[in-house]
Structure 1
Amino acid sequence: MKNIIKLLALAAGVAGMSSCSDFLEQTAPSELNDNTVYNSTYYTGLRVNKIYGGLAQDQTYSQYIPIIWGLNSDCELVDGLGADADNTTSERGNMNYNASPSWGNLAKLWDAMYGIIEDANLTLEGINSSSLLTSGGSEQKTMERYKGETLALRAMIYFDLVRFFGDVPLKLEPSQADLSNAYLHKTDRDVILDTLMVDLKNAVELLPWADEVSGYTTEHATKGYAHALLANIAMTRAGWVIREQAKDGYETADYTDPTYPTQRPDAATRTKLYELALSHLSAIITNGTHKLNPSVENQWYLINQRELDKNYHENIFEMPMGLGVSSELGYTVGVRVNGATTEYGVKGNSSGKMKLTAPFFYSFDKKDLRRDITCAQVQLGAENGVTKESMLGNTPFGIYVGKWDVRKMNEEWRQAAIATGNAKWMSGINVVKARYPQVLLWYAEVMNELAGPDGDYEGSAGLTARQALAMVHTRAFADADKADAEKYIEAIPATKEAMFDAIVDENAWELAGEGFRKFDLIRWNLLAEKIQEFKDTYYDELMNESNPNYYPEKVYFNYTDETKTKIDMSSVTWYGLPEGKESSDYDDNKSFYGAEREDSKQTQLQTNWPSISSGLVGDNVQVKNRYLLPVGSTTISAANGYIHNSYGYSD
């Protein structure tokens, strides 16, 4: 099957892979044979670098996966509203769950991901046959590390493929010249995930912790990432999935499709998987290499600065990207620069793919610092030659993701964006694949499942579920407000159900926009339910005057400077005019969400709102819980009859 055996030429276009790493060289000289390459730690390192290079393609992690393929959730939306939500030739229709096998990007991602897998399989074969792997001393340690990295990266790729497509072909050896292993049937995803967990147990033993070895930073797959990935896979294996056909002994959900059931393993199997996840999460917590940055603001400042955090290592694995070469974080998602400005160049940026929602914004505690870091209610643009911030206004489904913010990027980036001219610029911001807050939230989840909110369990890290959740939640508040944050945690009832609901909420507040939320909702079997809940919440907050989040028709605000170029975000009247204040007390105002009530056309409510995720929760639901995407038509046609679509999709 050519889609599987296709080996991508990655060396071109990925030079300068990271400003703070050594992924520049990726291909050993062509005159060297495999025996020579894999009996040199230097040349083996170049082969491993080629795998990292594959992660920096637009079709993988530079654009598609971190920005588009995690949409839609209950708080993150693709910018496809109204008629656009049915456009199956682009991400706008496909991410609204109106997917079509003819969408060309399906095959592009498939080919790119299997290209990386082929590189990994070739590298593992070479390492396993190398005499250096058993030579003793530093060279053996280096080769073991390369093997661990390759196993972890291959597991990550397969895990994402399973989350996108469900059952896929599992290929763990290089393609043969006679094509004897080229055409493969799909492998049951449970078999795939079980195989990946075995590989990751091996990788854990082979890999060092971040910065344990000189130069071995979080831009590499480390021991911490192998632990975290294994735990995430175990929890996914224990969770709900839509299946091509029912499996005996599995539990079937209440809301399920009659042909393609939503199922999860039995209780005893889930317990074993939770215990496995707990052991690996506890290993991360007790080791202490990875911690929370005490400042959530500084955490995102460092990411935008493209600076590795050597103090806390909150980011457990960052895919290395290169300024001007890869990563569309800050360009295709982030604070909008609407057109040419003197400060940020002729192009501005797009920021058009991923948006956040009004109900999500209003779900935050008013003092939660993550609200304004995550939800950017302003955009930048030029006015009389000066860059100015302006409020977005009545865009309840179009809030920008503020975690990536050009205002926080460094001068090197700014000069690169200016030099790019009227073309798309690449930010070079690393794609963070796992963060320590996720470890704490996963830990809280499995501890709650095994011991309840406040119980202990053998193999734990000495934290209860409530204590782990508290670490994530209270970090997001200023020192003066931490006592109130702690009261929120203390007030969660001591039941598994209440604690689980709190973990689900915290997951959104902490991780929105980062490409994780959708897949957690899927394994909880909450995706359709939570999307419908968000849509109902919007209607209630718009129309119900007794709702505490009843949307104001206007927001009023002040500027921080006399030239009125920067908005004082602390002054914005998100909840209406404060007691004792009048409109004349503010510098400016903007029509806001509540204006929709006075709009006779009601575009947001009548046209946009019904279209959101319409293939999953609207009137166009053909298969219940069909969150999986189809395999691309061109992939099917190249598979020689070995692969076919399921879940009601045609070939």
Structure 2
Amino acid sequence: MKKSITICALAAGALALSSCSDFLDQNSPSELSQEHVFNNEYYTSAVINQIYGDLTNDRTYSQDWAILYGLGTDCELVDGIGSTATAASERGYFNYNFDGEYSNTNDMWTKMYATIEDANLAVEGIENSPIKNNKNMQMYLAEAKCLRAMVYLDLIRAFGDIPMKFETSKSDLSNAYQGKTDRDVILDSLINQVESSIDALPWAGMSNYTTEHVTKGYAHALVAQLAMTRAGYAIREQAKSGYETASYSDPTYPTQRPDAETRKALYEKALNHLAVIINSGVHKLNPSFENEWYLINQLTLDTQYKENLFEIPMQQNVSGELGYTAGYRLNGVTTQYGFTNSSGKLKLTASLFYSYDSTDVRRDITCATTQIVAEKRVHSDTTKVTLADGSVEEKIEKTTDTQCAVESALGNAPFGLYCGKWDPRMENANWLDQNIKASAKHLTGINVVKVRYSQILLWYAEIMNELVGPDAYYNGSANLTAREALALVHKRASKNLAVANEYINNIPANKEDFFNAIVQENAWELAGEGARKWDLIRWNLLAQKIYEMKQDYLNNIVSVKPEKVYFNYVKGTTYPETKIDMSSITWYGLPEGKTSKDYDGSFTGFGKLDTKQTETNLNSIAGGLVGTDAKVFGHGAVINRYLIPIGSKIIDASNSYLQNSYNFKN
């Protein structure tokens, strides 16, 4: 029996080298046999575009993997603490409370495996095509394999051991039902598949090939990411012989990593691929951290620096929850910005905010300490009127604007800071025009960035430090030491290079202290982007860092930071009282020589002692992983159980091939 494929005809002339909108502009479905599809480059490109289209679903990367699954760290919280932290929803799941089923995990599993099925179809079709050796066909094959590997990696991160299926489902369903495969076996296979695909992929910028596609740079990064994940710690369904067991580990479901020799080989593999990226010069740091995020919000690809190695393409009004479900808060409808958003799903912490140096530009871009609120504001205009006798009289007129956009400080919300990296105030004119007219939610189209060049440098620094320490060179490296690579990331973000240089130079020259500096830089650079959680897990630091955050809040913020914070408004505007001068905020106390009378307003600081925050909210954060007493380094029913359970619908439909482990219910 021949397989038929539904091909969605794209706009005339659109191939897989098109922009992101072409991945989603799919019309006029027609049924074609597999033989016909993969004998034609145009139709093959449409199949590849369908895989990219799969990534724009809410349950894949438009929302879930862009926002939710990276939550539950020392700095990234779901918006459910206190009484909602145990809810049978994302609010419970990302506090590691899995007693009630979160139905969206069933749908996520289904949509992610549907993406894998589409990739399998493309791989089989191209490999059996008579034109498979054509340059474009080899590129399409490489894209399909890399996207498949990316999705598998994320499924492993969520569930641990999962079914490994690299072939399309047969019509008789003889291969449709499969049990779990050890995650290491899957990762080893994915490393080989992606490595074999790299040569067929263009670098970003070649022949109009953009970072909205799997680039050669991203493929190298993906191999490094797979290898570092494979070398790292993971909670196991059962102990593996020859593996190292962590000191903080469950007796039944141990947290283990491969032996030292295996890890070294994996680190060297990752290093080689990272060095290729660095040496290529194709991808660089945008010198401005602020401009990096401005371009992302503007839906503008960075064709100069190409800091983002791969962006999953979204489309305005079609997909993209960043800027709506996560981002800077628009709290109410205003004439300036239009319809409100619902950006509270992802929250950051006061501990993260205060960990930044005051000269670090990442602090105020990452941690949004203000929001736009809709307020009725009355302002006065003074005009001069010349009377009949020639005298001049001042006349005061008062005007009311019922939808004025007022920038308001968040106040005492130590576990409720919005993430400002996705900011409606930076979004493009087309989005703003639509949002002003909107009476309901419309999607932003902001792309999901899978890897930035700053991550390449941090991974490189980590591996170099592991192999030879902070200040030595290593065969196969990019002629950068670990310290030099870290310095590139840290200095880019500083408004004061002297301060940044002093920090970098003062990191001790031993592996342990330098590794701790990398862990901290990871938070400063990547908070909110869904990357930190997976690094903390492979380092076996997730629970430890969450505990340290709680101690930092109790011991450093509550007792040290000011209870009242003062600020001034920006002067010289039509509404001088509506925009806060961010540089004026007294986060660290009143400056010498200043009093409260020098400021226009104040708000309660993050450190004001509040029993609801210290005794209820703080205790509930990640309670299923670290226990519900913030003062004790505890754990849930299973130590390090960061994985989520397979949904009941998936288990029921698996024909008894799948069961939950880690003491989860089936």
Residue in structure 2 matched with residue 566 of structure 1 by the alignment: 579
Cα separation, partners in 2 of 1:101 and 1:242, compared to 1, 3 Å: farther
Aligned to 2:77, the other structure's residue is in SS state: strand
Corresponding letter in the other structure for 1:184:
Q
CA-CA distance at 1:618 after TM superposition: 1.2
Give SS of 2:331's match: coil
Task: Give the structure 2 partner of residue 260 of structure 1.
Answer: 253
Distance in 1 separating the partners of 2:497 and 2:563: 32
Which digits, 9 at most, give the CA deviation of each residue in 1:352-400, with x for residues without a partner?
2110001110000110000001000001012222111000000000001
Q: Which has the larger share of strand?
A: 2
CA distance in 1, matches of 2:25, 2:561: 54
Please show how residues 546-585 of structure 1 align to structure 2 within 5 Å.
Answer: 550-561=560-571, 563=575, 564-585=577-598
Between the two proteins, what is the percent identity of the paired residues?
Answer: 59
* Aligned mates of 1:494, 1:407 — CA distance in 2: 42
Counterpart mapping for 1:68-79 below 5 A = 68-79=68-79
Is the CA contact (8 Å cut-off) linking 2:19 and 2:212 kept in structure 1?
no
CA distance in 1, matches of 2:325, 2:551: 29
Change (3 A) 1:302 1:233: same
**Counterpart selection for 2:546 from 511, 531, 534:** 531
2:352 counterpart of 1:360: yes
The residue aligned with 1:607 is 616
Unaligned runs of 5+ in 2: 377-402, 629-634
Give 1:554 shift. Answer: 1.1
Supply the distance in 2 between the matched residues of 1:341 and 1:558 (Cα, whole angstroms).
22
**Aligned counterpart, 1:292:** 285
Check 1:557–1:8 CA distance in 2 against 1; reply closer, same or farther (3 A cut): farther
How many angstroms apart in 2 are the aligned matches of 1:229 and 1:528? 26
Q: From 376, 383, 389, give the equivalent of 2:407.
A: 389
Aligned partner of 1:3 in structure 2 is none
Residue type of the alignment partner of 2:188:
D
Which residue of structure 2 aligns with residue 617 of structure 1?
626
Partner of 2:269: 276
Matched residue SS, 2:408: strand
1:208 aligned residue (202, 212, 216): 202
Structure index of larger Rg: 2
2:432 to 399, 411, 414: 414
Q: Using the alignment, how far apart are the partners of 2:99 and 2:146 within structure 1?
A: 31
In the alignment, is residue 432 of structure 1 matched against residue 425 of structure 2? no
Amino acid at match of 2:56: A
Q: 1:28 to 1:161 in 2, by over 3 A?
A: farther
Contact (CA 8 Å) 2:56, 2:62: kept in 1 or not? yes
Matches within 5 A, 1:453-532: 453-478=470-495, 481-532=496-547
Cα distance in 2 between the residues matched to 1:623 and 1:152: 34
Aligned length: 625
Shift in alpha-carbon separation, 1:192–1:535, aligned structure 2, 3 A: same
Question: Counterpart in 2 of 1:641?
Answer: 656
Q: Does 1:106 align with 2:95?
A: no
Q: CA deviation at 1:321?
A: 0.3
In 1, are the aligned partners of 2:314 and 2:448 still within 8 Å (CA)?
yes
> Which residue of structure 1 aligns with residue 397 of structure 2?
none
8 Å contact kept, 2:20–2:314:
no
Measure the CA separation in 1 of the matches of 2:208 and 2:39: 22
- Per-residue CA shift, 1:247-292, capped at 9, x if unaligned? 0000001111010000000000000000000000000000111000
Whole-Å separation in 2 of the counterparts to 1:8 and 1:193: 29
* Match in the other structure for 1:120: 119
Change in 2 beyond 3 A, CA 1:11/1:592: farther
Whether the 8 Å contact between 2:6 and 2:29 is mirrored in structure 1 is no
Contact 1:305 1:408 survives alignment (8 Å): yes
Q: Relative to 1, partners in 2 of residues 1:430 and 1:463: Cα closer, same or farther, differing over 3 Å?
A: same
Q: Decide whether the 8 Å contact of 1:27 with 1:47 is kept in 2.
A: no
The answer as to 2:300 corresponding to 1:307 is yes
Deviations along 1:321-342, whole A, 9 cap, x unmatched? 0001101100011000011111
Give me the whole-angstrom Cα distance separating, in 1, the residues matched to 2:344 and 2:25.
Answer: 33
Query: How many angstroms does 1:149 deviate by?
Result: 0.4
1:158 equivalent to 2:175? Answer no
- Deviation of 1:635 (Å): 0.5
2:605 alignment counterpart: 592
Amino acid at match of 1:262: T
1:125-182 per-residue CA deviation (whole Å, 9 max, x = no partner) reads: 1111111113xxxxx1100100010000000000000000000000000000000001
Structure 1: gaps of 5 or more residues: 1-6, 135-139, 545-549
Deviation at 1:424, TM superposition (A): 1.8
2:289 maps to a residue whose letter is V
Aligned equivalents of 1:148 and 1:141: distance in 2? 11
The SS at the match of 2:330 is coil
TM-score between the two structures when normalised by the length of structure 2: 0.91
8 Å Cα contact 1:282-1:459 kept in structure 2: yes
Aligned to 2:400: none
